[in-house]
Amino acid sequence: MNQNLFLTALLSVTLIAQAADQPWFRQSLVGLEVGPTGSQFGGSTNDTRFASRFSGRAIARAAKAAHAEYLVIWTREGDWAFYNSKLQPKPPGLGQRDVLREAVEEGRKLGLPIIAYCQVQSPSYTLHEHPDWCAVDKDGKPISGRVCYRSGYLDYMKTMVEEQLAYGIDGFHLDMVDQGFGPPYGCWCATCQKEFRAQHGRPMPKGVTWDEDWDRFMEFRYSASERFENALTAHIRRVNPHATVDYNYHGNPPFSWELGQRPVQHARNGDFVTGETGVWGFSALTVGLNAEFYRAATPGAPFQIAMQRGVRMYHDQTTRPLNDLRWELFTLLSHGGFATIVDKTAFDGWLDPLAYDRFGATFQEVHAKREHFGHQPVYEVGLYFSSRTRDWQGRVTPADYFQSFQGAHKAMVYEHVPWGVVLDENATLDTLKQFPVMMLPNVAILSTNEVALLRRYVDDGGHLIVTGLSGARGWRGETNSQSALTELIGARRVRELASTDNWIRFSSSERSPHGTRLASDLRTDWPFLVRGPAVVYEPTTATPAGDLLQPHRTALHAENRYLKDWPMSADSPVGPAVLLNRFGKGSVLTFAVSPDWATASDHHITETRKLLASAVRLLHPEPRISIEAPISVQAVVTDDPANRTLRVHFLGYNAPPQTTPAKDRPYVLPVPIEDAPLYRATLTLRDRPKRAKAFNPSTELRRSGHKIRLRVEDIHEVVTVPY
């Protein structure tokens, strides 16, 4: 053996030894979660066929055969336990069998970590036994199915996790600590009232008051969930320090304060965070957004995303086409997460063999591509998300705020500008400095600390894009007399427009260089709709460009007979469209309108979206890499600095047209992906590439100068570029 080979061999032995010391979640990319279908709407002791074939042994074998690296097996749901519990009964169909015992024994033989899926929310059997643990609404009425997290339920759950830890499981997936998905809001039980008074020296508010008392009450709700999670995690670690804990997480859009989770506060209370994704509850586009959101909520830690086997919803007993599963899974892995596919068995516990064929094919491909995942993201734009704005500007209609954040994301994805997520709760100067450009998409509420942080970021050479109502609201959502960002924007706010059908126009005689550059791809002297909130500014230190035009208002508007959601045409100019302000070593580009909100709206025009991308390019003209590809193709760029290798992942989304839905016309869900797309893409690297290689033999790759031209025919491709 020559010395190099010897060193390589030694290195591999060391790496294997290190890998063996790592907990399962640090060395896994893909796993399965398996639970029975049938009792999600309530169980019955008469259903003896329910779960009768739900076998821990058969599931562990099927998971291993499909190349899963871990198995999450259901141990407890609202009505039933699937192991011998003293707290909750088993479904009669199981007879003497103990699914958890079977899974753990088989998992040990197969070298497959077994994680217990243990439901926490909606504990229907438990609440039937302990009605005093039920959450209570403001009128003192119990809220059916919801538990109070300050009740005796914590001790009950401690006993339940002890029971399951005794089987030798490798960890828990706890689903989940939430306080309901909408009204009525709780909990006004005697324990909560007493604790609130002890903490604040005053009674709880009598309902949703959106004042100082409600602020205290929201903190009190958040702390109830956090305390519960931390206490349960600590207990599990006391009993078995090697068992892992993760909580299902709903801190990201479209979820809001209602269910009692904040993006960061409730992501960090286990070993890693687990969130869900999928067309069924979110959208195809937000698959990648969810992954990056979970990363931002737990910087530096692994993060898990759960996707599902079914075409529409958990438990629907359908199986997605292979390419649809591949698209979602490789999107998640490209963004650096590890992923679990959720399989809900048949009513009797039978496993669909076609689904397992597809899991097997997908997971095998993951293993073949392993070395390409988990590297550092290369970002250009940070999308700033504010939980305070979600709570106090969004209030009971948070989707309006989310639309700006999601529209900014959509624009960056479609225009192939590499983006990441920044969260108000844990953002530091170092967080911001990962991004050459930061975007504030209608971040209405900014604290003095946040403004100071943004000032330092820009002062040190960062670039900021401000849209719509950013900085326009006070700490509890009240309208500020001036924007909190006045100095950064370099303009005085004159007024907000009451309309959302607002327009902008760049003139052919545009005098400012940034106005000319922003308008370079646009028809000039042409007003175009930028749906969303708008502000009239008067520049102080900023240079204005373009015109903001208010919409026409008709006699019908005055009589309240005009459909408010329908945009009207452009009327007269009322202020500048865009302002550019140099500040320290950096710059701030402010849109008087909301191209982010517009991009996610039903009245999205492509010029609006491209304007956001042009703004990024104006502020950051020489990116390390720029990408041209069809808008149906997403790109994720990563860097492996130790091996000096850039990677570009391409995800080709290829849903065929959908037909008219039977209800809610015209709102359609996409058809699952069947065919791989065929497309061209071009990479332009700032530093001339020495080599470049595509993973797929079918990909055509040509390198010339700073450019790499590709012709790809697949759902996922990864191009490696050493530097």
Residue ranges binding Zn ion (CB under 5 A): 148, 150, 187, 189, 192
Our measurement of the distance from residue 165's CA atom to the centroid of its chain's CA atoms, rounded to an integer in Å, reads 30
C-beta of 6 vs 181, nearer to Zn ion: 181
> Are residues 450 and 477 in contact, defined by beta-carbon separation less than 8 angstroms?
no
Of 146, 124, 128, 125, residue with least CA distance to 137: 146
C-beta of 192 vs 721, nearer to Zn ion: 192
> Are residues 254 and 275 in contact, defined by beta-carbon separation less than 8 angstroms?
no
| CA 214 to each of CA 204, 208, 223, 604: distance values in angstroms, whole numbers, following the listed order | 8, 6, 14, 36
User: Going by C-beta distance under 8 Å and a sequence separation of 6 or more, which residues neighbour residue 183?
Assistant: 258
Of 453, 391, 437, residue with least CA distance to 588: 437
- Least Å distance, CB 130 to Zn ion, is 13
- Least Å distance, CB 134 to Zn ion, is 9
As a whole number of angstroms, the distance between CA 244 and CA 355 comes to 28
C-beta of 132 vs 525, nearer to Zn ion: 132
- Least Å distance, CB 151 to Zn ion, is 6
Classify burial at 346, counting beta carbons within 10 Å of its beta carbon; exposed 0-12, middle 13-18, buried 19 or more.
middle
- Least Å distance, CB 150 to Zn ion, is 5
DSSP 258: G
The dihedral built from the CA positions of residue 618, 622, 625 and 629, taken in this order, carries a sign that is: positive
C-beta of 59 vs 187, nearer to Zn ion: 187
- Least Å distance, CB 124 to Zn ion, is 18
- Least Å distance, CB 187 to Zn ion, is 3
- Least Å distance, CB 183 to Zn ion, is 16
C-beta of 148 vs 383, nearer to Zn ion: 148
C-beta of 222 vs 405, nearer to Zn ion: 222
In this structure, the number of other CB atoms found within 10 A of the CB of residue 563 comes to 8
The three-class DSSP label of residue 459 is: helix
- Least Å distance, CB 137 to Zn ion, is 11
The three-class DSSP label of residue 570 is: strand
- Least Å distance, CB 231 to Zn ion, is 15
Of 575, 519, 574, 518, residue with least CA distance to 544: 575
C-beta of 148 vs 351, nearer to Zn ion: 148
> Are residues 494 and 534 in contact, defined by beta-carbon separation less than 8 angstroms?
no
> Are residues 266 and 246 in contact, defined by beta-carbon separation less than 8 angstroms?
no
C-beta of 192 vs 438, nearer to Zn ion: 192
C-beta of 132 vs 478, nearer to Zn ion: 132
- DSSP letter string, 366-427: HHHTGGGSSPEE--SEEEEE-HHHHHHTSTT-THHHHHHHHHHHHHHHHTT--EEEEETTT-
C-beta of 47 vs 195, nearer to Zn ion: 195
C-beta of 194 vs 511, nearer to Zn ion: 194
As a whole number of angstroms, the distance between CA 486 and CA 471 comes to 8
- Least Å distance, CB 224 to Zn ion, is 7
C-beta of 82 vs 153, nearer to Zn ion: 153
- Least Å distance, CB 188 to Zn ion, is 7
C-beta of 187 vs 694, nearer to Zn ion: 187
- Least Å distance, CB 142 to Zn ion, is 10
C-beta of 192 vs 548, nearer to Zn ion: 192
> Are residues 672 and 655 in contact, defined by beta-carbon separation less than 8 angstroms?
yes
Do strands 171-175 and 303-308 pair parallel, antiparallel, or not at all (unpaired)? unpaired
Strand partners, 647: 638, 720
DSSP 307: E
Of 79, 101, 104, 103, residue with least CA distance to 91: 79
As a whole number of angstroms, the distance between CA 450 and CA 578 comes to 23
Cβ burial 630-640 (10 Å sphere, 16+ → b, else e): eeebbbbbbbb
- Least Å distance, CB 136 to Zn ion, is 6
- Least Å distance, CB 245 to Zn ion, is 23
